[in-house]
């Protein structure tokens, strides 16, 4: 089975649709690693579209924020305003969908979490040291995470737990090599690695082959909708810069 791996759509329907069009019929199932909503202008449209696909989806911190499950005083003011708007905008059906999302999932060789296996909703794995500390918190060979909005592979290189970061090579299928890995597909709707293109991946779960991908999408169309809903300007401009 080939799986479309997506994360951090962040209510960006244009990016989500572009990814689906780009990945066409190259997958049979979708694994979504959370943060379907938050920041972007299309929370209902993104949840509705996801629901039409054969998929499983995890809860992210922004999904929980939209449900009022988190104390959002720790969010910056722009993120907070977007959370309030998202909460008011989501339909009861879509709130119920988000409400039911699990925080982790184990399937075959893969453990899935939004942030990290140790702290599924919250922890950012932004460096090899943090990745190294997480390998003892899952039992499968591989763990897939989102949350940082940066595509990367962390690989445990020896029995001492030393871990190194491997930069993604786009559009090249690689065989996961048996070393334990924590892999991030990047963000569909709000990339933060100085590349504004939507990020996703394709995984063949039988052969354990992985492919990171990027695809450009119509950012001005999304920004126009964000302006219409008076979402914070900083959230609007960051899309074109990829941070």
Nearest residue (beta carbon) to Zn ion: 35
Tell me if 8 contacts Zn ion by CB under 5 A. yes
Asked if residues 40 and 189 have their Cβ atoms less than 8 Å apart, the reply is: yes
Tell me if 211 contacts Zn ion by CB under 5 A. no
| CA–CA separation, 40 and 223 (whole Å) | 9
Dihedral of alpha carbons 28, 48, 13, 234, sign: negative
Q: Which is nearer to Zn ion, 8 or 17 (CB)?
A: 8
Tell me if 35 contacts Zn ion by CB under 5 A. yes
- Selected range binding Zn ion among 20-28, 35-43, 191-199, 202-210, rule: CB under 5 A: 35-43
In this structure, the number of other CB atoms found within 10 A of the CB of residue 157 comes to 15
> By rule CB under 5 A, what count of residues binds Zn ion?
2
Q: How many helices (H) and strands (E) does the chain have?
A: 8, 12
| CA–CA separation, 180 and 189 (whole Å) | 28
* Conformation bin of residue 96: beta by default, left when phi > 0, alpha when psi is -120 to 50: alpha
- Selected range binding Zn ion among 18-26, 28-36, 50-58, 229-237, rule: CB under 5 A: 28-36
- Selected range binding Zn ion among 2-10, 21-29, 47-55, 175-183, rule: CB under 5 A: 2-10
Tell me if 155 contacts Zn ion by CB under 5 A. no
For the bound state, the minimum distance from the C-beta of residue 102 to Zn ion, rounded and expressed in Å, comes to: 17
Which residues contact Zn ion by CB under 5 A?
8, 35
């Amino acid at each position: 089975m080939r799986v479309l791996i997506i994360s951090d759509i962040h209510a960006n329907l244009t990016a989500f649709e572009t990814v689906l069009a780009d990945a066409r019929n190259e997958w049979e199932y979708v694994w979504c690693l959370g943060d379907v909503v938050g920041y972007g202008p299309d929370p209902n449209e993104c949840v509705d579209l996801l629901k039409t696909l054969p998929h499983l989806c995890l809860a992210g911190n922004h999904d929980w924020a939209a449900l009022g499950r988190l104390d959002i005083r720790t969010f910056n003011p722009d993120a907070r305003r977007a959370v309030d708007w998202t909460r008011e905008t989501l339909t009861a059906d879509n709130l119920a969908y988000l409400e039911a999302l699990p925080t982790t999932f184990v399937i075959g060789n893969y453990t899935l979490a939004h942030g990290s296996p140790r702290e599924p909703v919250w922890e950012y794995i932004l460096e090899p040291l943090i990745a190294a500390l997480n390998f003892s918190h899952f039992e499968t060979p591989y763990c897939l995470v989102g949350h940082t909005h940066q595509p990367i592979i962390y690989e445990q290189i020896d029995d001492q737990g030393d871990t190194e970061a491997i930069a993604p090579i786009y559009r090249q299928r690689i065989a996961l090599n048996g070393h334990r890995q924590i892999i991030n597909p990047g963000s569909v709707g709000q990339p933060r690695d100085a590349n504004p293109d939507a990020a996703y991946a394709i995984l063949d779960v039988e052969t354990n082959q992985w492919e990171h991908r990027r695809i450009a999408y119509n950012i001005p169309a999304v920004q126009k909708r964000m302006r219409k809903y008076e979402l914070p300007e900083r959230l609007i401009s960051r899309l074109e810069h990829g941070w």
